[in-house]
Amino acid sequence: MIDTMTQWFLHHQQLAGYLEPIMQRFKPAWRAGFYRAEVACIEPINEKYLELWLAPESTWPIHKAGQHLELTVEMNGQLRTRVFTIASSPEQYRASGLVRLLIRTHELGRFTPHLTTYLASESWCNISAPQGTFLFPQRKMGSTLMIAGGSGITPFLAMLSQHLSEACNPVKLIYIARTGEHLAEKELNALAARFAHFSYFPIGRAEFKPLTHYLNDLDAPVVFCCGPQAVMEQVATQSLAANVTYFDEPFGLATHINMAERTEHVVKVAHNQYAVDNQRSLLDQLEQQHVSVRRGCGMGICHQCQCVKKQGLVRDMRTGALSDAGESLIQLCVVQAVTDVEIAL
Ligand code: FES
């Protein structure tokens, strides 16, 4: 009712849309449905990573170690959103009011390379409530083996900071990255020096040994893994073979798909047709052809790219599952065409 009256009298679809510019005069970055966060500090760590400290507004629900959030920044008049794991613990947030993100900057990306242009200390952005279930189980555990690859270290930084002082069971971290690209080395070395039950092994990809090598001295181990798809697949398979409990957090999509042969298809949108193949996501290919599609996280989390598929088969890039041929909701960023497809945007 309120929104209908808003459409009649204020010429806006929703009351929030009318209020937004007014509210933003008093509360920078105020947006209905988002939390606000002030930038406490943003600075490069090295050529590839940025460290961003945010002070969320007081209504933000405190995260659990291992969770992620959606970061939304207005860039050139457009809201852009990406998902990042929080690299600091709830205790650190309670003590300082700050959360930390470690962000890999992708040279050709539409978001990360522009962050330092649009964010500076004391500027504002939006964040979502914390999300995700990659958490330490509440039950008592034996020992823990953590395997991190590249920026997959971020949830472990939060977990270690939270749990090392709470438990004394052995925790071993294997951190795989290129030489010189291990993040937070000082912090991890300091934790290893302070807690006798924590050991830390920074290694290169080529040095990564079969899982049993790392499990040998651990009693009743539980394995946690976060990193590139290939590492997670290897660790998952070997955990299964070793009969140990395994948890993982994929922070990227499995962009490969076993459709060895490249095929071409047509995507119909209203009266237009676009050529796509079966190798990349529909979102990437439609964007490339300047179709006006909504992109958020690009990882199947935020649902901003969701639309109705009217007909045709698509494959979910995360699971390999095929859709049926009829009408269904799809997320463009995580599906590839298997046949010609018609969608309504
Ligand atoms: S862009 Fe976030 S789910 Fe597709």
Kindly tell me if the per-residue pLDDT of 38 is higher than 70.
yes
The pLDDT value given to residue 81: 80
Q: Is 194 helix (H, G, I), strand (E, B) or coil?
A: helix
**Residue 172 — pLDDT band, cuts 50, 70, 90?**
very high
Question: Which atom, in ligand 1's list, is nearest to the CA of 301?
Answer: 3
Kindly tell me if the per-residue pLDDT of 253 is higher than 50.
no
Kindly tell me if the per-residue pLDDT of 162 is higher than 80.
yes
- Mean pLDDT on 5-28: 67
- Mean pLDDT on 220-241: 88
| Averaged pLDDT of the chain | 87
In sequence order, the β-bridge partners of residue 266 are: 275
Asked if residues 325 and 338 have their Cβ atoms less than 8 Å apart, the reply is: no
Q: How far is the CA of 246 from the centre of ligand 1 (A)?
A: 26
Q: How far is the CA of 292 from the centre of ligand 1 (A)?
A: 14
Least confident of 60-69, 277-286, 311-320: 311-320
Q: How far is the CA of 82 from the centre of ligand 1 (A)?
A: 9
Q: Of 138, 230, 215, nearest to 174 (Cα)? A: 215
Pocket of ligand 1 (CB under 6 A): 295-298, 300-305, 331, 333
Kindly tell me if the per-residue pLDDT of 287 is higher than 50.
yes
Provide the 10 A C-beta neighbour count for residue 41: 14
What is this structure's pTM? Answer: 0.72
Backbone angles phi, psi at 161, to 5 degrees: -60, -35
**Residue 70 — pLDDT band, cuts 50, 70, 90?**
confident
The pLDDT value given to residue 256: 39
Pocket test for ligand 1, best of 284, 301, 309, 330 (most atoms within 8 A of CB): 301
Distance CA 295, CA 22 (A): 26
- CA quadruple 130, 135, 139, 143: dihedral sign: negative
Asked if residues 40 and 52 have their Cβ atoms less than 8 Å apart, the reply is: no
